[in-house]
């Protein structure tokens, strides 16, 4: 029923997909415009708070407390949800979570569900699993709807269609929406077309599926924040509401939630508060859904929790601030990562949730970084992403075969550099590489070296090595 969790089926390794993205000029223009705009707005919103660093420290401390005492808080949440008329389900992996959602949907007599934007459901491949079971899932977040109608994949945690401009969106709507043949590419017309398309879906849906930004253990309350209001339509109109929540999304109390309701909007949408903050606690007779099911999803989180270095990735509140400052993401886009979680956070979260650094794709993600540290500087819960990247790189290297071409090449380099005579001979041979250069750059290396020069230029070797210059000028 399911698929490989966290990563997309058939996803390429990062270097291959990145080369494709680098060759797409329109994609790079779209990304640069959008990330620069969001980055600048966020900086202004954060500057308004004199205690921003104290809030970051508080968010880090709360999340670390949750991770340290996760078993206790999860049982407290289950007890609170059950006491308020909700039903709690535990899912060890993607297949189990998908099976629960499909079963509950069938029990409700539905063949169609409306969905609130959710990274957790994307992580487990819920839409595909439901389709295989004869149930059609409809994304109601505008950007997610654009991606879905375009048979595309999300490229950003916050703005899934960040790689599309409005003309491209207009063409998607014209081809997939009824009565949209004469639609223009003005934002108001595009939004109105989406509103009309979704209105009937909201009114006819029997089942809604959501994720969760936070779960409050003390009261069993589930919190979803959004900017459009489409999510609230899903959370209030259908008779059955099913929420898929990663087990790390907990906060102990409402006082703890207050910290994150300051950190999240400023870090994600650069707003002082989210326009729509929806909270529900179990079932309220006569108001909203008559049945509420909470699916607590592990899917590699317990395994990640066991890593003293890597577990800090579970602090993530999915704000996407790290994506907007990352020089690698800005040039390649999210689809190059081949993961539901793109950018710096995806480079440390996806490999750990997947759990196998022998997988070529997973092992490539921690190397998709310049280690500039900008991601740590903007992270509202102080995840030291560069530290985790280096840790995962070491795991990826340790998992490789010692007879691989890369291992053999590294061993050969180590042998050359271990002896001064061998090293100087290698320097003289490298100087001959200038014959391949044009205007100071080597644009095409032979054999295996072509994998480097396919996507980047190589500076030509200097005419004279430093050691040769030293001997010539200093005797």
Count other C-beta atoms under 10 Å from residue 438's C-beta.
10
Asked, for residue 217, whether it belongs to a domain, the answer is: yes
Asked, for residue 380, whether it belongs to a domain, the answer is: yes
pLDDT of residue 20: 64
Q: Tell me: do 50 and 191 sit in the same domain.
A: yes
Asked, for residue 167, whether it belongs to a domain, the answer is: yes
From 241, 274, 302, give the residue that closes a domain.
Answer: 302
Under 8 Å between Cβ of 254 and 279: no
Asked, for residue 2, whether it belongs to a domain, the answer is: no
Plot region of 18 (φ>0 → left; ψ -120 to 50 → alpha; else → beta) = alpha
The Cα-based distances of 435 to 146, 161, 245, 335, 429 in angstroms read 50, 45, 58, 37, 11
pLDDT in tens for each of the 475 residues of the chain? 344 567 654 555 666 666 666 677 777 788 888 888 899 999 999 999 999 999 999 999 999 999 999 999 999 999 999 999 999 999 999 999 999 999 999 999 999 999 999 999 999 999 999 999 999 999 999 999 999 999 998 888 888 888 888 999 999 999 999 888 889 999 999 999 999 999 989 999 999 999 999 999 999 999 999 989 999 999 999 999 999 999 999 999 999 999 999 999 999 999 999 999 999 999 998 889 999 999 999 999 999 999 999 999 999 999 999 999 999 998 888 888 988 999 999 999 999 998 888 888 889 999 999 999 999 999 999 999 999 999 999 999 888 877 777 778 888 889 999 998 898 888 888 777 777 778 888 878 777 777 777 777 788 888 888 888 888 898 6
Q: Tell me: do 420 and 393 sit in the same domain.
A: no
pLDDT of residue 82: 98
Which tokens is 48 given? Answer: 């308004």
Q: Tell me: do 118 and 205 sit in the same domain.
A: yes
Asked, for residue 372, whether it belongs to a domain, the answer is: yes
pTM: 0.86
Under 8 Å between Cβ of 349 and 322: no
Give the number of domains in the chain.
3
Report the CATH number that the domain containing residue 215 is assigned in CATH. Answer: 3.40.50.10420
pLDDT of residue 34: 84
pLDDT of residue 118: 95
pLDDT of residue 322: 96
Q: Tell me: do 292 and 350 sit in the same domain.
A: no
How buried is 61 (Cβ within 10 angstroms: 0-12 exposed, 13-18 middle, 19+ buried)?
middle
Q: Tell me: do 334 and 358 sit in the same domain.
A: yes
Q: Tell me: do 148 and 63 sit in the same domain.
A: yes
End-to-end CA distance of the chain: 73
pLDDT of residue 305: 97
pLDDT of residue 11: 56
In DSSP terms, which residues pair with 296 in a beta bridge?
A: 90, 245
Q: Tell me: do 86 and 151 sit in the same domain.
A: yes
Residues whose CB is less than 8 angstroms from the CB of residue 358 and which lie 6 or more positions away in sequence, other chains included: 399
Under 8 Å between Cβ of 194 and 60: no
The Cα-based distances of 393 to 250, 349, 367, 400, 443 in angstroms read 29, 13, 7, 11, 28
Q: Tell me: do 338 and 444 sit in the same domain.
A: no
Extended strands (E) in 233-307: 240-246, 250-251, 276-281, 291-297
Residues whose CB is less than 8 angstroms from the CB of residue 217 and which lie 6 or more positions away in sequence, other chains included: 73, 74, 76, 77, 80, 250, 251, 252, 253
From 342, 371, 399, give the residue that closes a domain.
Answer: 399
Give the domain extent around 355.
Answer: 315-399
Q: Which helix (H) or strand (E) segment is 137 a member of?
A: strand 136-139
In total, the chain counts a number of residues equal to: 475
pLDDT tens-place string over residues 176-185:
998 888 899 9
Q: Are strands 207-210 and 250-251 parallel, antiparallel or unpaired?
A: unpaired
pLDDT of residue 1: 39
Which residue carries 């995806």 as its tokens? Answer: 346
Under 8 Å between Cβ of 135 and 113: yes
pLDDT tens-place string over residues 74-127:
999 999 999 999 999 999 999 999 999 999 999 999 999 999 999 999 999 999
Asked, for residue 1, whether it belongs to a domain, the answer is: no
pLDDT of residue 217: 98
Q: Tell me: do 410 and 395 sit in the same domain.
A: no
pLDDT tens-place string over residues 180-237:
888 999 999 999 999 999 998 999 999 999 999 999 999 999 999 998 999 999 999 9
Which residue carries 């990247």 as its tokens? Answer: 389
């Amino acid at each position: 029923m399911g698929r490989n969790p966290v990563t997309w089926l058939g996803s390429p390794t990062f270097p291959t997909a990145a080369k494709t993205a680098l060759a797409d000029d329109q994609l790079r223009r779209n990304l640069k415009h959008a990330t620069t705009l969001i980055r600048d707005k966020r900086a202004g919103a954060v500057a308004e708070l004199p205690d921003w660093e104290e809030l970051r420290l508080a968010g880090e401390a709360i999340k670390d407390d949750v991770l340290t005492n996760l078993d206790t808080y999860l049982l407290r949440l289950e007890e609170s949800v059950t006491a308020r008329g909700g039903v709690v389900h535990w899912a060890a992996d993607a297949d189990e979570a998908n099976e629960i959602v499909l079963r509950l949907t069938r029990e409700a007599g539905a063949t169609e569900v409306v969905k609130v934007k959710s990274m957790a459901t994307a992580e487990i491949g819920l839409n595909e699993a439901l389709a295989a079971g004869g149930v059609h899932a409809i994304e109601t977040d505008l950007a997610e709807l654009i991606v879905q109608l375009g048979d595309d994949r999300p490229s950003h945690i916050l703005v899934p269609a960040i790689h599309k401009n409005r003309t491209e969106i207009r063409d998607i709507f014209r081809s997939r929406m009824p009565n949209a043949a004469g639609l223009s590419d003005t934002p108001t017309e595009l939004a109105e077309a989406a509103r009309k398309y979704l209105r009937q879906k909201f009114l006819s849906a029997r089942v809604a599926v959501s994720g969760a930004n936070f779960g409050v253990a003390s009261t069993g309350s589930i919190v979803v924040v959004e900017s459009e209001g489409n999510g609230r339509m899903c959370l209030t109109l259908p008779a059955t509401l099913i929420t898929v929540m990663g087990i790390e999304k907990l906060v102990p109390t409402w006082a703890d939630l207050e910290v994150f309701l300051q950190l999240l909007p400023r870090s994600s949408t650069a707003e002082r508060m989210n326009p729509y903050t929806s909270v529900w606690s179990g079932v309220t007779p006569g108001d909203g859904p008559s049945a509420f099911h909470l699916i607590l999803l592990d899917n590699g989180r317990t395994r990640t929790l066991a890593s003293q270095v890597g577990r800090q990735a579970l602090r993530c509140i999915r704000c996407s601030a790290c994506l907007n400052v990352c020089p690698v993401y800005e040039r390649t886009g999210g689809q190059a990562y081949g993961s539901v979680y793109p950018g710096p956070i995806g480079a440390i979260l996806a490999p750990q949730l997947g759990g196998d650094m022998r997988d070529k794709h997973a092992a490539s993600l921690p190397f998709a970084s310049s280690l500039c540290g900008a991601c740590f500087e903007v992270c509202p819960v102080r995840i030291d992403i560069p530290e985790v990247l280096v840790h995962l790189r070491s795991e990826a290297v340790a998992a490789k075969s010692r007879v691989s071409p890369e291992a053999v090449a590294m061993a050969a380099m180590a042998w050359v550099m271990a002896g001064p005579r061998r090293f100087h001979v290698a320097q003289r041979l490298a100087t001959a590489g200038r014959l391949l250069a044009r205007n100071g750059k080597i644009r095409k290396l032979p054999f295996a070296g072509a994998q480097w020069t396919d996507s980047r230029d190589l500076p030509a070797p200097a005419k004279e090595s430093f050691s040769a210059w030293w001997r010539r000028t200093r005797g």
